[in-house]
């Protein structure tokens, strides 16, 4: 059995099933790992304020990796162990390109996500239905997204833009990649997520492991999509869900069952709890 001391879990498509639920079996496996002294953290593209209650209320969950690694927060104190926002001039260059690319934009600043009236209303239709309640409850409406951005040149953690189709997303991706040296990923179809250069879930996870005095061989990560790739590659044990994208499947050390088949629970049971699954 591996000496895993830190488990990083992506949320959507990984811990959550397609109904955005954590099943009893997965919850039990997480709690059993924590009881063994293992740190289990949500590792998400969501903001700090978007960390789900299931984790916030779970005894023994001490940290959260948010905004694709731009922030790692100690939940009890709010202290940031990792803080990797954009340099203002880089954020400006990214904004200039994505603001004219269509879609619905969310700007992550200091642990919150801000969007305009379109993004808070009609733009929600671009997202999978299971995500819409989460977006409604966590995004903050600003009347003028341009004015908001100009007033907050510092502290931008991430841009998240949802497009009506893959072609629109790919065109925006190429425009940003051509002119800006940044991290571009996607977590769901037609979505574009942009972080500062070098900022990934993998970098945030490595920084937390170092802070905890852990070797990479003691770190396990589970994920399913492009924004999980660096984390899967960084962890000593990278676990892909059966529903993962091809690049994540190829990079993983192990492929577990899908998010609808308790894949996270089965991986924890096998590698942390020593169960025959």
User: Which of the residues are catalytic?
Assistant: 10
Alpha carbon separation from 195 to 91, 158, 177 (Å, rounded): 9, 5, 12
For the chain, the three-class secondary structure string (H helix, E strand, C coil) is CCCCCEEEECHHHHHCCCCCCCCHHHHHHHHHHHHCCCEEEEECCCCHHHCCHHHHCCCCCCEEEEHHHCEEEECCCCCEEEECCCCHHHHHHHHHHHCCCCCEEEEEECCEEEECHHHHCHHHHHCCHHHHHHHHHHEEECCCHHHHHHHCCCCEEEEEEECCCHHHHHHHHHHHHHHCCCEEECCCCCEEEEECCCCCHHHHHHHHHHHCCCCHHHEEEEECCHHHHHHHHHCCEEEECCCCCHHHHHHCCEECCCCCCCHHHHHHHHHCCCCCC
């Amino acid at each position: 059995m591996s000496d895993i001391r830190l488990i990083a879990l992506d949320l959507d498509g990984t811990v959550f099933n397609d109904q955005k639920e954590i099943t009893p079996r997965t919850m039990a496996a997480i709690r059993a790992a924590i009881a063994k002294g293992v740190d289990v953290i949500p590792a998400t593209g969501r903001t700090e304020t978007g960390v789900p209650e299931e984790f916030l209320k779970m005894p023994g969950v001490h940290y959260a990796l948010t905004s694709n690694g731009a922030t790692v927060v100690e939940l009890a104190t709010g202290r940031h162990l990792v803080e990797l926002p954009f340099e203002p001039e880089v954020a400006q260059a990214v904004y200039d390109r994505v603001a004219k690319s269509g879609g619905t934009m969310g700007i992550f600043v200091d642990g919150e996500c801000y969007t305009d009236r379109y993004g808070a209303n009609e733009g929600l239709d671009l997202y999978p239905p299971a995500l819409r309640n989460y977006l409604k409850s966590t995004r903050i409406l600003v009347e003028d997204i341009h004015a908001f951005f100009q007033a907050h040149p510092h502290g931008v953690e991430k841009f998240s833009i949802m497009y009506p189709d893959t072609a629109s997303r790919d065109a925006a991706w190429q425009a940003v990649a051509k002119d800006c040296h940044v991290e571009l990923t996607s977590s769901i179809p037609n979505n574009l997520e942009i972080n500062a250069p070098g900022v990934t879930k993998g970098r945030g996870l490595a920084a937390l492991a170092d802070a905890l005095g852990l070797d990479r061989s003691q770190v396990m990560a589970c994920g399913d999509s492009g924004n999980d790739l660096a984390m899967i590659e960084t962890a000593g044990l990278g676990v892909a869900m059966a529903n993962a994208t091809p690049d994540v499947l190829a990079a993983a050390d192990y492929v577990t069952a899908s998010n609808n088949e308790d894949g996270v629970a089965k991986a924890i049971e096998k590698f942390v709890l020593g169960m025959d699954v």
